[in-house]
Structure 1
């Protein structure tokens, strides 16, 4: 046992010096006080960093396939009425969604930007309960109404009981309505009159889209779109004016859920039309992003970058469609953000480095000061003796 005690004592890397050989100085006390304050400040700073999370960023190839892309938007058109504003979405797979109304809300705005009415879709015209005709003939007693589609029926028993249903039937045929006064449903509902009553108003449209996770576009444009192979046409309701003011403000545009600390580049962007029938195009590069919180919760969303271009819809004497267009494409690179705390062992290592480093530097400084003072005293004593 005594031999073990002697061996352990010989391993002591910190041999002790008798207190009789210590020499305490004023400069040494000042240096010790300063170094202790520095250690305390650096310790508090390191401890705060340890409590906060750090974000690790990585770039990987996106190998996911299929899926849907969720788009949230909120756009205000201060000088364009809700009755004429339609939303369409098309992607490169060939899927088309024309005049989208599901999960879409419109707010009629007056010239001062105050909300007049909130509507979920369309003009909100009621269906006609007692129409004048049934496929070209008068409605007989106790006979169920079935309004004419004016040549756009796909079968003998198809009915169009409102102006909107007639327009929808025409759209499916790839036809455009040239004169709504000839359509009984539109005439009795006062469809065009309601559109004209909204002239000078603005519109705020917000909602969400679920589209295929492939390149595509969605657009806000006047009129009701219909498709003919090789063409994309619009029904403008034969209105007297063709000067559409597409000035707009993008209040919000997100591809997926919100990511902490990420600001979308188009939020708050405002564009004012300077030429008739302006066309605004935004080319968006969507970057898939996964954000993992410190508790392990994953947010699968997207960031995006954007470039834009605007022009008059009349270029080289060719009439193009006015509107606001968003063309999006997906990046093959995925970004991953991971929140994490500094490991406790790293924290201890940093603390040891701080304490040891400061005491070492303080010891060097104290040694220089002590030997300098000692040399100075010797010179003074030699000078007195001389």
Structure 2
């Protein structure tokens, strides 16, 4: 989401997310529907149960945009609610979510974390990238999450940043957030990084040029007890681009200049020792 108001939701990108357990091990295989109650005759949009050879058309529970719209899964019901700007606060009352064991799946994932890596393109204006639980939906002047009603007290935003950069790596420059780790001492809260991004051009001794960026950072944490405005829990990166560009250029020092510098250093030391003899 950038300063122009443009939001990038559900876009194609090169971001990958892995589920990990509380010990950091990747959870690679998990069967869907474990523990979910089985309902042989799901509820139809018109209110009755699915009969033999009847085409299934599930209800969207008031969020339908058209008269013939169907919601045949829990995700489709949630998506219909998001399009309306509504929050799905009681998924246990939704027939599709009950059949798929949505609430049970969320509860079984308690204590898990995730590993996120990849890259994406953003506009060259100020904006923010954030990691927050649930999926976003929007109301006027507000951004909400459709999982906040389930277990808001148990969110933990402890995190470690292995690497964060804006563009290609520049030799000799270490990004200030690489390897940074923060462990959350209290339940819930918002961790914010304010980044000042400086466009940078690096040219090596052979003339190869890298157009990238470097940045400085300021950190801030706001706990749920201090937050009277109820901000979204998560990790937020607010970035702003500097109007100044930095240029690094490598070049050889001529051998005669090198000898001149050596002579100047030796001459300066000789003068110093002559004034202050042992």
Interval of TM-score (by shorter of Structure 1 and Structure 2) = 0.7 to 0.9
1:1-386 equivalent positions in 2, closer than 5 A: 90-98=1-9, 102-117=13-28, 132-136=42-46, 137-139=48-50, 144-236=55-147, 238-240=149-151, 242-315=153-226, 317-342=228-253, 346-347=254-255, 349-350=256-257
Contact 1:284/1:307, CA 8 A, preserved across alignment: yes
Greater CA deviation, 150-159 or 172-181? 150-159
Q: CA deviation at 1:252?
A: 1.2
CA–CA separation in structure 2 for the residues paired with 1:192 and 1:282: 32
Closer, same or farther: CA 294–199 of 1 in aligned 2, 3 Å: same
Classify the secondary structure of the residue corresponding to 1:208. coil
> For the pair shown, which has the larger CA radius of gyration, 1 or 2?
1
Higher helix share: 1
Residues 283 and 307 of structure 1 are in contact (CA less than 8 Å); yes or no, is this contact kept in structure 2?
yes
2-structure distance, mates of 1:115, 1:249: 16
What are the Cα deviations for residues 216-263 of structure 1, in whole angstroms up to 9, with x where unaligned?
111111222211111222222632552321111111111111111111
* 2:200 counterpart SS class: strand
Instruction: Determine if contact 2:89/2:150 at 8 Å carries over to the other structure.
Output: no
Structure 1 unaligned spans of 5+: 1-89, 362-386
SS at match of 2:177: coil
How well do the aligned residues superpose, as a CA RMSD in angstroms? 3.1
CA distance in 1, matches of 2:66, 2:20: 41
- Compare the two structures and name the one with the higher strand fraction: 1
1:272 CA displacement: 1.2
Deviation at 1:110, TM superposition (A): 1.9
Deviations for 1:257-307, whole angstroms, at most 9, x for unmatched residues? Answer: 111111110011111111221211110001111222334332221101000
What is the alpha-carbon distance in structure 1 between the residues aligned to residue 136 and residue 159 of structure 2?
Answer: 20
Alpha-carbon shift at residue 339 of structure 1 (Å) = 3.0
Instruction: State how many pairs are aligned.
Output: 257
Question: What do residues 75-110 of structure 1 show as CA deviations (whole Å, max 9, x unaligned)?
Answer: xxxxxxxxxxxxxxx111111124667433222222
Unaligned 5+ runs, structure 2: 34-39, 268-278
- CA distance in structure 2 between the aligned counterparts of 1:99 and 1:244, rounded to whole angstroms: 23
Write the distance in 2 (CA, Å) between the matches of 1:350 and 1:326: 46
Q: TM-score, normalised by structure 2?
A: 0.80
Tell me which of the two structures has the higher relative contact order, counting C-alpha pairs closer than 8 angstroms and 6 or more residues apart.
1
Offset, 1:334: 0.8
Q: 1:197 to 1:217 in 2, by over 3 A?
A: same
| 2:210 aligned counterpart, secondary structure | strand
1:332-382 Cα distance to aligned partner (Å, 9 max, x none): 00112223344xxx44x458979xx8xxx9xxxxxxxxxxxxxxxxxxxxx
